[in-house]
Amino acid sequence: MRRRGVHCNPSTRFAAMSDAPFGTFFVPGPTEVRPEILAQLTRPMMQHRNRAFEAMFARIDAGLRDVLLTARPVYVGATSATGFMEMAIRNAAAGPILSLVNGGFSERFALVAESCGRQVERVVVPWGATFDLNAVEDALTQTRFAAVTVAQSETSTGVLTDVHEVAELAHRHGTIVLVDSVSGAGGAKITVDGWGLDYVLTGSQKALALPAGLAFAVASAEYVDRARSLPDRGFYFDIVQYDKFAARNQTPSTPATSLLYALEAQMGDIGREGIERRWERHLAMRDATIEWVYGLRERRGVDVSVVAPEGARSPTVTVIRLPLGMSPVELRNAIEVRGYTIGGGYGELAATTVRIGHMGDHTLEGLRRCLHACETAIAELAERRRLVRA
């Protein structure tokens, strides 16, 4: 089949992708899925109200519990991760919500709460900044909140928040913490039971390197028990139903079986890698990316920098501020021509940054090849726009 670069029709694009080597797509969600995992999607359908399905679901649950380090069941939903943000709010005890907002996704959590009719108070810091826990403590002292929402890895800025610390603070003030670990789990260290996290959600298409369409959540037994007495939990995201069905290795409504095939295979591979080694691989990819950004300043004289401050940088995504006058769109196109895809900036940072998603099944060597292509493209653009410092 003939190939025509990036502008080809869908059928030729599929053919081109299936024999492309893994390691070219560095977007912070969706992330690149290995061909052998994608191949699972072509397996025949199975019925789900039977033993064979339940055995598969039990193996998946064991794998997910090892990823999240919890003894609780992991709920599996056919929804993007935002659905399980809604689950977090709809099933939380009545009362106001405190949202820690430091970017686009943590703001989304606040909006979800408001759209579910909750009164929401925000602790807001500028995009790229970390939270001052004293400000969080002040808010917790003044009001009795039903829950605190927080994003562990804020994918719009690349800032990592210590959710263990936030959980301890929340608990000291008699409230619970609802954690968005969508670009965290499977890449950044998280230990649900060890850190006493009351509710944690994640999605399939970030550090777990699966196709989009599944969300996962863990909730403490206390959270689920309290939910039982709430009158308006809704239907699709009713955690009491999820909990009841999970106990029988089932889902309340039809599972996305094809995605579960891929999930089961991926859980096997993650188990073989080991979650701690997976976290270490992500830290190594983060460190290589940051070192590259600051090396680029030295080698090429271009004014690039990492948005997230030292000490709070996510292991899964790095957001890079470009020199004034360098267009993120132009840069991404120049990188695309060299065979690699990186992410655009998000929300407030769309016009000034690009994002490199170094998460999922990427390797340090593969990432270095991508960074090399990025460097050539940046140097070329900087030269053309005369953005090189004297």
Ligand X SMILES: *Cc1c(COP(=O)(O)O)cnc(C)c1O
Positions that interact with ligand X (CB under 6 A): 29, 80-82, 105, 151, 155, 180, 182-183, 203, 206
Q: Name the β-bridge partners of 342.
A: 26
Which helix (H) or strand (E) segment holds residue 76: the answer is strand 75-78
Q: Give least dist CB 224 to ligand X, A.
A: 22
CB-wise, 29 or 323, nearer to ligand X?
29
CB-wise, 87 or 373, nearer to ligand X?
87
CB-wise, 178 or 182, nearer to ligand X?
182
Among residues 370, 293, 266, which one has the least CA distance to residue 41?
A: 266
Q: Give least dist CB 104 to ligand X, A.
A: 8
The residues near 175 (Cβ < 8 Å, ≥ 6 apart) are: 98, 140, 144, 145, 146, 147, 148
Q: Give least dist CB 383 to ligand X, A.
A: 34
Q: Are 314 and 128 in contact (CB under 8 A)?
A: no
Q: Give least dist CB 164 to ligand X, A.
A: 17
CB-wise, 73 or 158, nearer to ligand X?
158
Among residues 308, 318, 296, which one has the least CA distance to residue 380?
A: 296
CB-wise, 177 or 382, nearer to ligand X?
177
State whether residue 365 is helix, strand or coil. Answer: helix
Distance (Å, rounded) from C-alpha 66 to C-alpha 62? 6
Residue 334: what residue type?
A
Centre a 10 Å sphere on the Cβ of residue 31 and count the other Cβ atoms it contains. 29
Distance (Å, rounded) from C-alpha 64 to C-alpha 138? 36
Q: Give least dist CB 208 to ligand X, A.
A: 11
